[in-house]
Structure 1
Amino acid sequence: MTEEYNLDKVVERLCGNGHAIASRRFRGDAPMPSVDTLSEIVEDLRSVLFPGYYGPSEITPATLPYSVGSTLDRVERNLADQINRGYCFVCDREGRERCADCEQRALTTARKFIMALPDIREMLLGDVEAAYDGDPAAKTHGETIFCYPSIRALTNHRIAHELHRLDVDIIPRIISEMAHSDTGIDIHPGATIGKRFFIDHGTGTVIGETCVIGENVRIYQGVTLGAKSFPKGEGDQLIKGLPRHPIVEDDAIVYAGATILGRVTIGRGAVIGGNVWITRDVPAGASVVQSRAMRYAFENGGGI
């Protein structure tokens, strides 16, 4: 027999104290980070990093400084607020005492991030060049900026990585997951990625937190740069932050569907073929490919 409908009982169970993970417990009135606001910040930054491609389409050389300046003024205020919310979120979740200078610290961090934007743009321009040079289907550099999921994902990543480097709580991860949802490319903000990086097609790519990728590296869709194992400490809890993902050195190429696990090194200029499984170091200049398929011809059932 179906239990009688009782809304009060459902609300009581959902709001009870038995599921602390599902429900955030506030100390004071600190608001949560806003995904909508962070999305607006990232789009503002995209318009600053690639003006004319994103943001107002009527930008001219004469109005560009005003547009960039006013956008960054808005980014400074919104980002500082979101960074502060991230600090409070982690403090509340971990039961820490609130610091007295979080708002000022958040503003200082937002300004440090804005000061890094010219360097971030230089890195992204190298990524655009790598995409254009590495794909014969690309007709213009602008096409790669507008259309390529690699550039969209790397824009989010290079923003998120700088915030991660500045010890910002939770906000970098949210920004990375925005790109993951948009493009199918999953890059942890902790991953270190060098100049002129290109992910061709990109869907299904996974790059772990402690990956170190050199310069002029190219990978294809479905590549996993992941962890092989997860060491545990006291209480059978996973030990966080250990280097557990691959190092991919300069000029390496990793083809579609390859899986590389653990703290292994793919040497400079190495080529990793499609759908291979790597758990050991690969020397510089080496090629690792699948064995050739054997072809047999049978007649009248012979040999079967």
Structure 2
Amino acid sequence: MNDDFYRQILDKQQQAAALPSNKEITAWGLQVIRLLYPEQSKKVFFTLPQLHEEFARLNDELCHIMDATRECSDCDNKKVANAFFDGLPALYNILNTDIQAIFNGDPAARSEFEVVRTYPGFYAISFYRLANCLVKLDVPLLPRILTEHAHSKTGIDIHPAAEIDEYFHIDHGTGIVIGETSQIGKNVKLYQGVTLGALSVAKNMAHTKRHPTVEDNVVIYSGATILGGNTVIGHDSVIGGNVWITASVEPHSTVYHTPMIKVSKNTEKTE
């Protein structure tokens, strides 16, 4: 192999060395979430000055991460970091609606504390909400690293650019896929294995709406696949398990399979 090949590898090594690791970036995100919800961690900050110090430290850390990851000479990373932390009260409020939706919608949930501490759906939603705030501030790379961390931990794959309104409930969650241009209204509940996907993955569709819209007060049961940017699931609808949908559904609809199931009685006797 010639030296040009080795130089390419060395250049990539130097570029990678300048970037914070995915572990460092996700650790930053987890620290932000645990400051908002200390019930996820044993460590609690008891004084207001300590909280100010921690948020200021995480603000500086976000600036450092963006300095290393944003290829932009005129970007004001400090301004972006300040804007992110100024938006934390709104982020906290919408996450509280998600906790309420999960608690109210799951008979097995004994407390909101339990939802925050143990539910993979809330873990994935909290990382998505954090990442989505960064997407709206035009921060590259970081949002995807954060949501892919949650994906690896929970099996729930939410693209950080998806638009999801308040009171969002994921039950069980494993295998859920929510594509980049999905739009989800208020008070929507998804069960495991649901896909909100694209009909086509052609690269020339990168900047078009490829994924479905789910309006308010919709329940989508396990294994349902809903595809296409023009597909709208009307409000107050129920989508049954394992259905395949590529066309819009009117509000107040119920969509389900009607399988033929035969049950026969075994009359054979064992000697």
Alignment of 1:229-244 (within 5 A): 229-231=200-202, 237-244=203-210
Q: CA deviation at 1:49?
A: 1.3
What's the offset of the Cα at 1:204? 0.6
In structure 2, distance between residues paired with 1:206 and 1:125:
23
Q: Contact 2:39–2:113 (CA<8 Å) still a contact in 1?
A: no
Structure 1 residue 288: Cα displacement: 0.6
Deviation of 1:86 after TM superposition, in Å, equals 2.0
Deviations 1:101-120 (A, max 9, x none): 33xx1111011000000000
1:83 to 45, 59, 66: 66
TM-score normalised to structure 2 length: 0.90
Pairwise mapping of residues 1-304 of structure 1 onto structure 2 (< 5 A)? 15=6, 17=8, 24=12, 31-54=18-41, 56-57=43-44, 59-60=45-46, 63=47, 65-88=48-71, 99=73, 101-102=74-75, 105-231=76-202, 237-263=203-229, 264-295=231-262
For structure 2, list consecutive stretches of 5 or more residues without a partner in the other structure: 267-271
Sort the Cα spacing of 1:71 and 1:298 in 2 relative to 1 into closer, same or farther, 3 A: closer
How many equivalent residue pairs?
265
Shift of 1:293: 1.7
Inter-CA distance 297–44: structure 2 relative to 1 (3 Å threshold): closer
Task: Provide the secondary structure at the position in 1 that maps to 2:205.
Answer: coil
- Deviations along 1:119-168, one digit per CA (max 9) or x if unpaired, are 00001000000110010000011000000001111110000001001000
Tell me the TM-score normalized by structure 1: 0.81
Structure 1, unmatched stretches of 5+, are 1-8, 89-97, 232-236, 300-304
CA distance in 2, matches of 1:55, 1:221: 30
What letter matches 1:117 in structure 2?
Answer: L
Q: Decide whether aligned partners of structure 1 residues 239 and 30 sit closer, same or farther in structure 2, where only a CA change above 3 A counts.
A: farther
Whichever residue aligns with residue 219 of structure 1, its letter is: L
Q: Is the Cα–Cα contact under 8 Å of residues 241 and 256 in structure 2 kept in the other structure?
A: yes
Query: Which structure has the bigger radius of gyration?
Result: 1
Matched-pair contact (CA < 8 Å) for 2:212–2:232: yes
Deviation per CA, 1:180-209: give whole Å up to 9, x if none.
011110000000111100010000100000
| Contact map agreement 1:248 1:267 (CA 8 A) in 2 | yes
Indicate if the aligned counterparts of 2:179 and 2:196 stay in contact, CA closer than 8 A.
Answer: yes
- In the alignment, is the contact (CA less than 8 A) between 2:167 and 2:187 conserved in 1? yes
- Aligned residue identity for 1:254: I
Residues 256 and 54 of structure 1: CA distance in aligned 2, closer, same or farther (over 3 Å): same
Distance 1:55 1:163 in 2: 27
% same residue? 37
